[in-house]
Structure 1
């Protein structure tokens, strides 16, 4: 490969390559990149004959070859040729200024494939690179990331104190993921808040269970879809059968914090609701060609249905939400969705690396492009402010006379849970200490009035349980669905 690069690099001197004389016969195959694609040229050499072969000149590559040769010959240390090539390709893709297009090395590609398989080890969060920053799209349900309090739109500034600004999403993933039981510390910045929150998360096995059914009161079935992986459609049909056997009279599909996934899975699920012959999604290519995917026949879900969305609902989630909203009029409830209206594909190289790039944009059944705009719900209902309280590091010790933003978060959590921490001002006074002691007593923990370790974890988990029991978006969904029966 190195020799091939050098041969092509001399094309600016002459568009012909003059080969030396050989005393034996040999056959060389050169792969020459042309505007039409890859051309295979066979060169045959014999005894005393010199052969000249024309090669189409690519002047736009001469600068690239020159830079490669310059570094290879003049850099003060020996360079890694593979890294140079990987870097050149990565830079080319980055120049597209598209957060959804990436060059993945073999290692990065393997991590990506893990994320859509049965399980992987890490913290369990979907991230993306946006304007040079690593942003959380959504944590996976039940993952260490969710339990720690990671939220959509959180910016990850550091990983184990290493600044990751300017990194690609794939580079960041390699730093964040790791073996089960190991810890990683993220420096998080929330929207409209310049304070860096240090969040230490213990990595775990992240099962890709994507469908979570439960039967609520009065025959209302709620099924949460957390992402669209290889088995989501099959798991959903199994869950629907389970809910039908339990007397399902109406259905809530929960797509909140679902960052998307495989397009075919979203289309298959949409087909359960969209009438035969109607559009599910339209894909528009760069030449203006539009490819429509229409619903097929087969089993359809006919019970009254609503769909929950929020700012963490992206990509395939938005395809499903847009399809059922525009074709069947299924109400959408919650917050405006994320707004990702493009489709990606990946081409592999022989060494296991690949390029993932945007190859089209997708439109809703009615031809709307929701990219960077999101989908507005029919009923806008947000969770209460306390659902967005900042994470408290369990490794820190908050006690009498402590003062910080984390103390203020703790005071607000205690108040929401029915305790009396006194003034919510970020200062750990005697009222705060008394409230912590009462909380510890109720939870059968050591009553020392210090917020750390198990007490901190239990406080945050109690708040999560409170939010789930008092889910304003689910309550609105039940209200809306009861009127449709």
Structure 2
């Protein structure tokens, strides 16, 4: 699929539907070259008719008995196709692996679009952990990011409907809706005693997977937002352009990048690695490892840093691990998400437009480290300021002096980050907080009341977003620029 210039993606539903992390997903047809060179067991299976894996007479009789009971005894009519879909979903759920799922035709179509680089959603990658819906990463520029969703947030409910115990597909279905409608999410966040509410407006978002910029100091920065099918091509274009301008160093920013397609991240990684060095290792169920070696690349003459955070997952972690261990790059920021498995999407085997996405292997770094549920450890740890992670304000009533709440605490963190000094960030609305609010209101031409009403809250949040978008306030990026500059 060819993309010219900037690509318009639509974020109307929850991204990835039931696929969770699109990271390290390969369509089944992409595996044919490897299958031809596979193990004897794979070859034998390919040569046979697969009958040894099919249901035997007793197993088939048991399933038929249940279907017959449902269709003849259940108190309501049941759609036979729904029963079949449910049976397949149940088998996948029995694997107890959030990355192995069955997708019905419509969901499978959205998933295929996501691999091609066209998403539908509010802009947040999610997964399941112990029956909870957990945010992996809000995608940059999306409604999720603008509303303040963060990696590791737990989604409790949407528009008053609880998500507890739902499968990923079921939870995402609750969040779908037409463009322009609201999704009111209740979120549990580490460090906050009470759940917070995040309001998202489903909308079209203009997104590009790769952005390259040359800083005045000669440092090139390439931001990779996801690894879709066009990303390697766009990365090569941006890298060539920056190198043509004589960059002194390169920063690769994969913060809040939830991953993508395995061959794509390999293609990008090897561009910056010495030919013959290990990019990644893949280990199958029997412990057999296959190394992917860099081809046609070169060790770059300039220093490289990779920026990660808690929302950097899977393919992003392959890039960071490969360059850290085999190309001398410096990883800077926060420990990454920690997804170390590979999925294959079998979109032809079922024959009706549905597909099965299943974990088939682990991936390991060049040195053989499995980062699953651990993440890539940065060489230089740089935590973001509190203003980056503060819960957005959602006022039901005006915040007034001598009150105590999580909303007040959020406002205090915002005021402090913007340079107004409330003197405390414990949620108590004291005299110093009121003075800070008055100063903010005065400088933003608001009625100077010392109270936080809806208009003040809205203006405060807009100021926070503007502050965050200013690259000069990005302490992680500045540290990465400094690191490559020193080298």
Deviates more, 1:472-481 or 1:315-324: 472-481
SS at match of 1:122: coil
Aligned to 1:133: 132
Offset at residue 317 of structure 1 (A): 0.6
Contact 2:248 2:485 in 1 (8 A): no
1:119 & 1:177 partners in 2: Cα distance? 16
Aligned to 1:413: 414
Deviation digits for residues 409-445 of structure 1, max 9, x if unmatched?
1022112212244654434466545533432443345
Aligned to 2:10: none
Deviation digits for residues 234-255 of structure 1, max 9, x if unmatched?
1112222332344421111111
Aligned to 1:404: 405
SS at match of 2:75: coil
Q: Which has the higher contact order (CA 8 A, sep 6+)?
A: 2
Aligned to 2:327: 328
Aligned to 2:262: 263
Deviates more, 1:303-312 or 1:173-182: 173-182
Deviates more, 1:351-360 or 1:192-201: 192-201
Offset at residue 121 of structure 1 (A): 4.2
Contact 1:34 1:58 in 2 (8 A): no
2:120 & 2:460 partners in 1: Cα distance? 26
TM-score normalised according to structure 2 size: 0.82
Offset at residue 88 of structure 1 (A): 1.2
Aligned to 2:69: 70
Aligned to 1:280: 279
1:398 & 1:426 partners in 2: Cα distance? 14
1:370 & 1:108 partners in 2: Cα distance? 29
Deviation digits for residues 196-220 of structure 1, max 9, x if unmatched?
2111111111344111222223101
Contact 1:121 1:180 in 2 (8 A): no
Residue segments in structure 1 that go unaligned for 5+ positions in a row: 1-32, 39-55
Offset at residue 343 of structure 1 (A): 0.3
Aligned to 1:469: 472
Offset at residue 153 of structure 1 (A): 0.3
Aligned to 2:19: none
RMSD: 2.4
Deviation digits for residues 137-187 of structure 1, max 9, x if unmatched?
000011111111100000001011111122222322232233321110111
Deviates more, 1:463-472 or 1:379-388: 463-472
2:424 & 2:480 partners in 1: Cα distance? 35
Contact 2:418 2:467 in 1 (8 A): yes
Contact 1:399 1:433 in 2 (8 A): no
Deviation digits for residues 246-300 of structure 1, max 9, x if unmatched?
4421111111111111111100110111111111111111133322211111566
The structure number with the bigger radius of gyration is 1
1:232 & 1:352 partners in 2: Cα distance? 26
Residue segments in structure 2 that go unaligned for 5+ positions in a row: 1-48
Aligned to 2:100: 101
1:370 aligned to 2:371? yes
Deviates more, 1:185-194 or 1:334-343: 185-194
Aligned to 1:52: none
Aligned to 1:164: 163
SS at match of 2:400: coil
SS at match of 1:103: strand
1:434 & 1:459 partners in 2: Cα distance? 15
Aligned to 1:174: 173
**Match runs of 1:417-428 below 5 Å:** 417-421=418-422, 423-428=424-429
Q: Cα gap change, 1:445/1:116 in structure 2, threshold over 3 Å: closer, same or farther?
A: farther
Deviates more, 1:90-99 or 1:421-430: 421-430
TM-score normalised according to structure 1 size: 0.83
SS at match of 1:313: coil
